Structure 1
Amino acid sequence: MSQIPTHHHDQTHPAAGDGQHRPWTVLAVTLAAQVLVVLDISVVNTALPSIGSSLGLAGEDLQWLVTAYVMLSGGGLLLGGRVNDLLSRRGVFLTGLALFTLASVASGLADTGAQLVAARAAQGLSAAVLTPSALSLITTTYAGHQQKAALALWGAVGSLGVAAGVLVGGALTTWTSWQFIFWVNAPVGLVAFVAGSRVLERDLVDRPRLRDFDLPGAGTVIAGLSTLVYVLAGTATHGWWSVRTAVGLGLAVVLLGTFLAVERRAERPLFPPHVWRLRALVSGTAVMLGVTGILVGAVFLGSIFMQTVLGYSAVRTGVAFLPFALAITIGTVAARHLLAHLSPRAVAASGLVLVAGAALLLSHAPPDAGYAVDLLPGLIGLGVGVGMVFVPVSVSSMAGIPHSHAGVASGFLMTGHEIGAALGVAVLSAVASTAGSLVTQAGAADAFARGFVAAAAMAAGFAVVAVLWMPAARMEAAAGMRLH
C-alpha cells in the first residue's frame, strides 16, 4: 500500500503531545481566520438583491457569487490539506490568510459582476488553503483535554458562522452598503495575520518534490468536486430532472471515479488509501455533511419565509436568527460536557434527533406565524441540536490523526462541510419547491412547511448513520489510541 512519508513535517510545537499546557493564542488566531471563511458562506445571501441592483446582474447570474466561492473552496480542500502537510504549516496558514484578506478587499472594489465572481473564486481558493491549515495547527499544537476543548470551539464556529452570516450580512447591507460585507474582513484578517506572525512558531520541513503533490489526483478531485457543487447549485434553477443536471452529475461521478483510480496507482497519493480506514474520520465527515446541509438549508428556507411570507426586512430577519445562533452556542457547551460521560455516537445522534423534532415543529408554522409562538421554539431546538452534533463530529474525527496527515484529514473533514452546504440548499429547496414557488407569498409558505419536513427526514437518516458508524467509545477511553 502506498504511504506518505512522515518525515516532511516536524510538529508546530515540538512537545505538543507531552501533556504540557499550551497558550490559547494559537487557537485564537486560527478561530479568527475560520470565522472569516465560514461567514462568507452565508453573508452574501442577504446582500444579493443589493449587489444585483448595483452591478446590474440578473437573478441567475447572482447565484454565481455563491457558487464560485463554494466550488473553489469545496473542490480545493484536499489539495490544500496536502500542501499543508508538505510545507510549513505556519507559512501555508499565513499565505492563505493574506490571500483571503486581499480577495475580500478586491470583492468590495469590484465594478462589474465578472470582477466580483472572479474575486469570490479567489476567496474560495484561499479558503481551501486556509481552513485545513488552521485546523491542523490546532490538532498539532494541542493535546488531551486542551485539544478536545479547542476542537469543540472549532465545531461551534463552523455552525455559528453560518447562522451569524445572515445577521451580519443584513445589518451591513442595510446600514452601510454591500461592499462592507467584504471589507469587514480586512481589519480582522490583518490583525489575525500580524498576531499569527508572532505567535505561530516556525516549523522546519524538508523541501518537497513536485511529484509529492500528486498533481493528477489534485486536478481530478478539484474538477470532480467543483462540478458536483456547480450542478447542485444549479438545481434550484434547472431542477433535478433536467438534462443539464443529469449530465453534470454523470460528469462529476466520472471525474471522482477517475480520482480514485489515480489515487490507487499514485506513488504519493493526495489522499492516502489507509486514511479511508480511519472510521472516525470518515463517519464524522459523513455526519458533518448531513448536519451542515440541514443547517444551511434551514437558514435558507427560514430567510425566505420571514422575508417573503412574513414581510421581514433583511435586518429584522438577521435579528430573528440571533436566538438560533445563541442556541447553537448552548448546544456546543452542552455537547462538550456530555462528551465526558457519553460517546460521540450518543451525543451526535441525540442532537440529530432534537434537530428532527425541531424541524417538524417548524414545519407547522402557519402563513401568519407569530415569531415568539410559532418560530422561536423550533429555532432554539434546531440550534441546540446542531450545536450538539458539530462538537462530537469535530472532536472524534480529528482524534488519533497522525501529525503527518493532519492537513489532508482536516481537508477531508471540511470538504464534507462545504459539499454539505451546497447539497443542503439544493435538496431542501428542490423538495420545498414541489409544494409551491419560493418567490410568492402563498407558495413560499407551503414550500417552507414541506422543506422542513424534508429536513426532519434528513436529520433522522443521519442520526441512524451516527448510531451505526460513529465511535462508540468515550473520548477519554480513546485518548491513548493516537496513530503514529
Structure 2
Amino acid sequence: MNAVPTADQMKPTPGWTVAVVACAAQFMVVLDTTIVNVALPSMRADLDLTSAGQQWVINAYLLTFAGFLMLGGRAADLFGRRRVFTAGLVLFTLAGLLGGLATNGPLLIGARTLQGLGAAFLAPAPLALINSYYQDVRIRTRAIAAWGATATAAGSCGILLGGVLTDGPGWRWVMFVNVPIGVALVAVALRSLPVSPGEGRGRPLDVPGAVLVTAALACASYALSGMEAHSWATPRTGGVLALACVLLVAFVMVEARGEQPLMPLRIFRNRSLVLGNLAALAIGAVTTSVMFFITLYLQHVLGYTPMEAGLAMLPLTVAIAVASLLARRLVQAMGPRLPLVLGWLLTAGGLLWQSRFTAEGTFVTDVLGPGILLGLGLGTTVLPMTIAATSGVPAQDAGLASAMMNTARQMGGGLGLAALNALAGAVMGAAAVTTAVTTRGYAAALVGAAGLSLAAGALALFMPKPRPAASAPAA
C-alpha cells in the first residue's frame, strides 16, 4: 500500500525563491544606508531642514538599525524567521511611504527612525533562512555568495540611484522606491518562505539586555557621528563614548547572569565566529571609508557632479559583485581562511595604488585601475567572512550570529570612517585648503585603510576550518 503524502510533502519546493527574497531584502536594507545622501540638499531646501536636521536624516536610520539588530536577530530565532522577517518588511515599507509623504523635517526623521527599526528586524532573517533552508553545502555556498554580492554592491548602487531619482522625479522617490518592492516581497514571503516555528515557547525576549546594548551602540554611534565638529576631549564625544562603555559593561554583566540572555556569552567560545566578526568590522570600516573618500575626491578634487561620481563608482561596484560570486570556487576548494587572506592582500594593494592619486588626476589612471583591484579584493573577503562568522553556530542561534555580523559591519563603518577621517584631517592640518592639500589628506586615509586591511589579513591566518552547524533544522 502506498503511503499517503503529508501536507508538508505535498507543498511545492520553493527552489531559489528563498535566496531571491533574501537577496532582494538585503539590497533594500543596505541601499537605504546610502541612497539618501545625494538627495539631502533637495530635502533640506524643500522641507526647510536645519544643518542638524539634515544630518539626522542619515543618523536616525543608522542609529536605530545598528542598535536594534541584536534584538531583531534574537527575535527571529525565538518567534520564527518568516514571521519576524515579514513584520520587519511591512514596517520598513510603510516607513518608506511615510517618508516620501513627509511635509516637514521631524516627520521625515521619524519615518527614517521607523525604517531603521524595520531594517533591524528584517536584516538578520535572510541569512538565517539561507543557512537553515539549503542543506546542500554547495547550494548554500552559492546562495550566500549571491547574498554577499548583493549586500556589498547595494551601498554603491544607492549613490547612483539616489542621483538618478533626485535629478528625475524628485527626492521623494528616494523614499518611495522601496514601496513597490516591499509590497511584492511581502506577498512572496507569505506565500513561499518556509515556516519556522521558532524556539520561543513562552520564552520572553531579554528586554534589559536589549535596552542596554541598544543604548550602548546608539551612544557610540551618536558620538562617532559628531567627531568632525567635536574632539575626543569634549563631553559630546569623550563623555558619550565613556557612557557607551559603561552601558556595554552593564550589558555583559546582565547577559552573564540572565537565564534567557539576548546574546549568550557562550557563543564567543567559537573562534571562527569571533574572527569572522573582527573581519566584518574591518570590511565595514574599509568599505565605508573607500566609498566616502573616493566619492569626495571625485567631487571636491576632480569636480564631478553627484551623478557623474556615482557612475564613476560603478567599476568598483561591479568588481565587488563579480569577486563575491567567484570567491565561491576558492572557498569550496580551500575553505574560508586562504581566500580571506588573499582578499585582504588585494584590498591593501588596491588601496595603496589608489592613494597615489593626485590633484591633477584622471579617471582612468587614478580611479578605474585601482578601483577594480580594490573591488576584487573587497569582494573576495565577503563570502569567507560570512561563512566564518556563522560557522559551527547551533541552528537556534543562527539569527543571532547573522545579527552580530551585520552589527559588526555597521559599527566598523562608523568607527573606521571616524578614525580615518581624523587621520585625513591631521594630515591636512591648518594649511590653506587647496586641492593638493585635500588630496594628501584623502591619500593618507587610504593608506591607513591599507594598514587595517593588512592587519585583518594577519588575523585571518588564525581562522579555523569551518564546522557544520550543530543541529541544522529540516528545510
Do they fold alike, i.e. is TM over 0.5? yes
Is 1:336–2:328 an aligned residue pair? yes
Name the counterpart of 1:147. 140
Structure 2 residue aligned with 1:6: none
Residue of 430, 441, 444 corresponding to 1:447: 441
Tell me the distance in 2 between the aligned counterparts of 1:163 and 1:255: 33
Give the letter aligned to residue 71 of structure 2. Answer: L
Measured after TM superposition, the shift of residue 207 of structure 1 is: 5.7
Higher RCO structure (Cα 8 Å, ≥6 apart): 1
User: Which range moves more in the overlay, 288-297 or 58-67?
Assistant: 58-67
Are 1:459 and 2:428 an aligned pair? Answer: no
Alignment partners' CA distance in 2, 1:323 and 1:208 = 49
Aligned match of 2:174: 181
* Correspondence 1:108-187 to 2 at 5 A: 108-143=100-135, 144-187=137-180
| Alignment partner of 1:192 is 2:164 | no
CA contact (8 A) 1:363 1:453 kept: yes
Distance in 2 separating the partners of 1:131 and 1:62: 25
CA contact (8 A) 2:76 2:198 kept: no
Q: What is the aligned counterpart of 2:416 among 401, 404, 424?
A: 424
Task: State the shift of 1:236 in Å.
Answer: 2.2
The residue that corresponds to 2:237 in the other structure is: 245
Q: Displacement, 1:237?
A: 2.3
* Distance apart, 1:483 and its partner CA: 4.9
The gaps in structure 1 that reach 5 residues or longer are 1-12, 16-20
d(CA) in 1 for partners of 2:143 and 2:16? Answer: 9
Identity of aligned residues (%): 37
Which one of 263, 274, 277 corresponds to residue 255 of structure 2? 263
CA deviation map 1:334-370 (0-9, x unaligned): 3111112223121111111111111111111011110
Q: In structure 2, how many angstroms separate the alpha carbons of the residues matched to 1:36 and 1:347?
A: 28
Asked whether the equivalents of residues 96 and 175 of structure 2 are also in contact (C-alpha less than 8 Å), the reply is yes
> Distance in 1 between the 2:248 and 2:141 partners?
33
1:350 aligns with 2:339: no
Distance 1:106 1:441, change over 3 A: farther
Asked whether the equivalents of residues 275 and 388 of structure 2 are also in contact (C-alpha less than 8 Å), the reply is no
How far did 1:409 drift? 1.3
**Residue equivalent to 2:3:** none
**TM-superposed deviation, 1:43:** 1.2
For residues 167 and 46 of structure 1, the distance between their equivalents in structure 2, rounded to whole angstroms, comes to: 8
The 3 A distance-change label for structure 1 pair 271 and 289 is same
Measured after TM superposition, the shift of residue 30 of structure 1 is: 1.5
Q: Is the Cα–Cα contact under 8 Å of residues 359 and 378 in structure 1 kept in the other structure?
A: yes
Partner of residue 17 from structure 2, selected from 6, 22, 25? 25
Q: How does 1:34-113 map to 2 (within 5 A)?
A: 34-113=26-105
Match of 2:393 in 1: 401
1:184 is displaced (CA, Å) by: 0.6
Q: Is the 8 A contact 1:60 1:237 kept in 2?
A: no
How big is the shift at 1:241?
A: 4.0
**What secondary structure, in the 3-state scheme, does the structure 2 residue paired with 1:235 have?**
coil
Q: CA, structure 1 residues 452+482, in 2 after alignment: closer, same or farther (shift >3 Å)?
A: same
* Aligned counterparts of 2:120 and 2:347: Cα–Cα separation in 1: 29
2:26·2:150 contact (CA, 8 Å) conserved in 1? Answer: yes
Instruction: Using the TM superposition, give the Cα deviation of residue 397 of structure 1 relative to its aligned residue in structure 2, in angstroms.
Output: 2.0
Which runs of 5 or more structure 2 residues have no equivalent in the other structure? 1-6
Per the alignment, do residues 47 and 361 of structure 1 end up closer, same or farther by CA in structure 2, a change over 3 Å counting?
A: same
Indicate conservation of the 8 Å contact 1:154/1:394, yes or no: no
1:443 deviates by 4.3
Could you tell me how far apart the structure 1 residues matched to 2:435 and 2:337 are? 40
Q: Is the 8 A contact 2:18 2:130 kept in 1?
A: yes
Q: Secondary structure of the equivalent of 2:347?
A: helix
Amino acid at match of 1:192: L
Provide the C-alpha distance between the structure 1 equivalents of 2:422 and 2:191, rounded to a whole number of angstroms.
Answer: 48
| Compared CA separation, residues 83 and 14, structure 1 to 2 (3 A) | farther
Query: Could you state the TM-score of these two structures normalised by the residue count of structure 2?
Result: 0.92
Cα displacement (A) at 1:255: 0.3
1:203 corresponds to which residue?
Answer: 196
- One of 213, 216, 222 as aligned partner of 2:214: 222
Task: Tell me which residue corresponds to 1:4.
Answer: none
Count of residues in correspondence between the two structures = 461
